[in-house]
Structure 1
């Protein structure tokens, strides 16, 4: 197929382009190039999607695209892409997010959870309206291409090599580099929290297959259902950790300034707010029925940890406890 990837230089977009090239497809990426170049074997159209004419080079009515894959988060970018590409593309694959849901407290949920109200306007000013922005993007795709010519893939936590956020790589990296006495590592005590990670390569491979087969629908593209305890156990194995795992309650961690989910001095993937307890609890059954398969999570975490080892000063970690903070907290806990 002739595949147009809107992006192709950052984590997921690049993985999609790489997989499509490996599968023998004719791939063109539209990107500014701020995250690097496109994969070998893919054509590159350098362009800024914020410009009104940013996609003019790929909307020639004399040339058709079998499918488009779009990972954008700005509604204006998606609206312009849909308007320009609908006459010349057969199918539109849009990568959305589980953040579009208005409710995150339920367990074993699916795509029927109510959505947030769509963001008004074309620009998401900051990540506080990320979910609303993606709702607006979804609406633009479905309105323009219709449900039979589009796939909306609501991705969950994406991990593996290239995970710039560090969420999937920090735990195995920390277990390989403990800083506490006798190799102690700090963790939250709410380890029954539902949590799942989908490998970026599995997601990319599935998106390419869906584009080639023009699979329609709106599905949660998430990892196999798991818990934070399960992921931490695998991370310990991957990191070769044999020291103690020291757990602390949410209230104490909050008092000490430890952040949830990601960010500076955080415990990645941890969520204590009961209203968000079900964020990682979507079953993903519809996506698996549509062919999404998963490699062992140990492989995902191992390769994410290997990526963490390659970080340079110019690309610092965006989550996890600093060595100094973790030593201080473990000391307060007697370790």
Structure 2
């Protein structure tokens, strides 16, 4: 039995790691404020604000087999290292592929250049700073995991689940798409990521790994989501310029089309995963992930308020505008089938 301390453990990924460790019969402690949720059953939960003096008093001095750090804020990361770096046989830092300076290099590996660290309020720069300070403190006991888009049931970001949920909600009605041609999606299911982090810790794996899944065409993901959602309506793709002119945002957040990235960032979802696979990284198939995500989305409510995506009302207004332009331009976009749109590449609706 190993003794693991998770700095966090009540949020999405941390909770999944904790639950899997408990299922393996491990001794698990989570130290967190508990504001992201409750700790899983079977876990020793220590409620602590990591920004306060003495935050680590109850876990300092314990001989930990594994410590897993999920935070990236400089004061949290540094405080934990000061208190605990000497207490762990192995330390895992969950970082991000956002640390890379360029998103225009398909197949880039872990030694690619990183962003500069001028502004630690910036997510990517703070992640780089966290990697550096942890490397200095922990040395050759450190594993750095750099996931990209994390998918799966319970996703609080509402990114990956947007498409299968929206297609299910729309049913036989139209759904708005970005231009999907030559765009990629690279995700890892939270359950697969957690399992690999646990296995890597047990093996005392060290070094840096892009913990990412296989590259998929965005059109493949949308087609699969439409099939899983039993969507029978039209998919209406439009060009980037039109979407931007109508205040639709990239990637995530309110009034966005999730997973849609600027052309300049086309390789963000095309990172090398060869080291990850060689180190035992696995992934479940797309259909299985989409089915599980849709079941979770239905449970939470297909028409709920989301952190990412267009509301159905916003989407319908845009679709109405497209319909008016089609009627005015008579370009026939609305007459094409879902299959032809995704296989031949969508045209502009302007």
Q: TM-score, normalised by structure 2?
A: 0.88
Residue 52 of structure 1, CA deviation = 3.3
- The gaps in structure 2 that reach 5 residues or longer are 324-333, 335-350
Q: 2:149 corresponds to which residue?
A: 157
For 2:295 and 2:72, the matched residues in 1 are separated by 28
Q: Secondary structure at the match of 1:107?
A: coil
Cα distance in 2 between the residues matched to 1:191 and 1:310: 32
Instruction: Tell me the C-alpha RMSD between the 2 structures.
Output: 1.7
What aligned pairs does 1:111-150 form with structure 2 within 5 A after superposition?
Answer: 111-119=110-118, 124-125=120-121, 129-146=122-139, 148-150=140-142
Instruction: Report the CA distance between 1:163 and its aligned residue.
Output: 0.4
SS in 1 for 2:28: strand
Q: Which of 1 and 2 has greater Rg?
A: 2
2:305–2:311: 8 Å Cα contact kept in structure 1? no
What is the match of residue 253 of structure 1?
243
Specify the alignment match of 1:66 in structure 2: 65
1:91 and 2:90 correspond: yes
Match of 2:327 in 1: none
Matches of 2:296 and 2:286, distance apart in 1: 15
Deviation at 1:262, TM superposition (A): 1.0
Q: Note the C-alpha offset of 1:58.
A: 0.6
Matching of residue 294 in structure 1 with residue 294 in structure 2: no
SS in 2 for 1:232: helix
| 8 A Cα contact 1:9 1:31, kept in partner | yes
The 1-side partners of 2:54 and 2:295 are apart by 40
223, 228, 239: which one pairs with 2:218? 228
Q: 2:312 aligns with which of 323, 330, 335?
A: 323
Distance in 2 separating the partners of 1:272 and 1:324: 24
Cα displacement (A) at 1:183: 1.8
1-side partners of 2:68 and 2:223: how far apart?
A: 35
For residues 1-335 of structure 1, what are the structure 2 equivalents within 5 Å? 1-60=2-61, 63-119=62-118, 124-125=120-121, 129-146=122-139, 148-178=140-170, 182-274=172-264, 276-311=265-300, 316-334=305-323
> Aligned partners of 2:88 and 2:6: how far apart in 1?
12
1:119 Cα deviation after fit: 5.0
Secondary structure of the residue aligned to 2:216 is coil
Task: Give the Cα separation in 1 of the matches to 2:295 and 2:69.
Answer: 28
Deviation of 1:309 after TM superposition, in Å, equals 2.6
Under a length normalisation based on structure 1, what TM-score does the superposition of the two structures give?
0.92
Matched residue count: 322
What does the per-residue CA deviation read over 1:154-173, in whole Å, with 9 as the maximum and x for residues that have no partner? Answer: 11000111101111111000
**1:145-195 deviations in whole A, cap 9, x for unaligned?**
11x20100011000111101111111000110117xx52111111332122
Deviates more, 1:134-143 or 1:191-200: 191-200
Paired with 2:227 and 2:251, the residues of 1 have a C-alpha distance of 21
Q: SS in structure 2 opposite 1:218?
A: strand
How much does 1:299 deviate? 2.0
> Take 1:316 and 1:64, find their aligned partners in 2: how far apart are those partners?
44
Higher RCO (C-alpha under 8 Å, 6+ residues apart): 1
The answer for unaligned runs of 5 or more in structure 1 is: none
Aligned mates of 2:105, 2:235 — CA distance in 1: 29
C-alpha distance in structure 2 between counterparts of 1:134 and 1:101, whole Å: 10
Moved over 4 A (4+): none
Which digits, 9 at most, give the CA deviation of each residue in 1:279-300, with x for residues without a partner?
A: 1110211111111100112222
CA contact (8 A) 2:146 2:209 kept: yes
**For residues 123-142 of structure 1, what are the alpha-carbon distances to aligned partners after superposition, in whole Å with 9 as ceiling and x for unaligned?**
x54xxx10000001111111
Give me the whole-angstrom Cα distance separating, in 2, the residues matched to 1:172 and 1:139: 38
Query: Could you tell which deviates more after superposition, 12-21 or 49-58?
Result: 49-58
